[in-house]
Amino acid sequence: MMKITLSLIVATLISSGLMLMCLLISKKMKFEREKMSPFECGFDPKSSARMPFSIQFFLIAVLFLIFDIEIAIILPMIITLKTSKVTMWVLTVTIFMITLIFGLFYEWKSNMLEWTK
């Protein structure tokens, strides 16, 4: 029990020391204009580098990622058809597809799929 306690104390001290060192080292003493501006081959920037973008684009990108991950989940389901019970496999695939269809229907009804408003 003493070894575990000692190991826990040593790990806590090392991690706290590293966090403190990183905090002290990473302090920026002053903000220079050149370091805060975006780099454009030595010229002054023509516009702000932090321009807002459309939230619709972000929602479409997230929707694409979700369906991309779902395809990665569906493909192994086809391989497991040979090794699993057919009724259990069909039930699992049906529940998964119904969940996908309801999610797509919800996004369609909440106008998330419209690019322009």
User: pTM above 0.75?
Assistant: no
Please give the Cα distance from 97 to 90 (Å, whole number): 10
Q: For residue 64, what are the domain limits?
A: 55-109
pLDDT at 30: 54
For residue range 79-117, what is the model confidence (pLDDT) as tens digits? 888 888 889 988 988 998 898 888 888 888 887 777 666
Does some domain include residue 93?
Answer: yes
Residue 100 lies in a domain: yes
Amino acid letter at 95? I
The residue ranking higher by pLDDT, 27 or 19, is: 19
How far is 7 from 10, CA to CA, in rounded Å? 5
Triad 70, 72, 78: Cα angle to 5°: 100
Q: What is the dihedral of CA 18, 24, 25, 31, to 10 degrees?
A: 150
More reliable by pLDDT, 41 or 64: 64
Give me the pLDDT at residue 60, please: 78
Q: Does residue 92 contact residue 77 with C-beta atoms inside 8 Å? A: yes
> Is 40 a residue whose pLDDT tops 60?
no
73, containing H or E segment: helix 55-79
| 21 part of a folded domain | no
Cα(38)–Cα(48) distance, integer angstroms:
8
Tell me how many domains the chain contains.
1
pLDDT at 13 over 60: yes
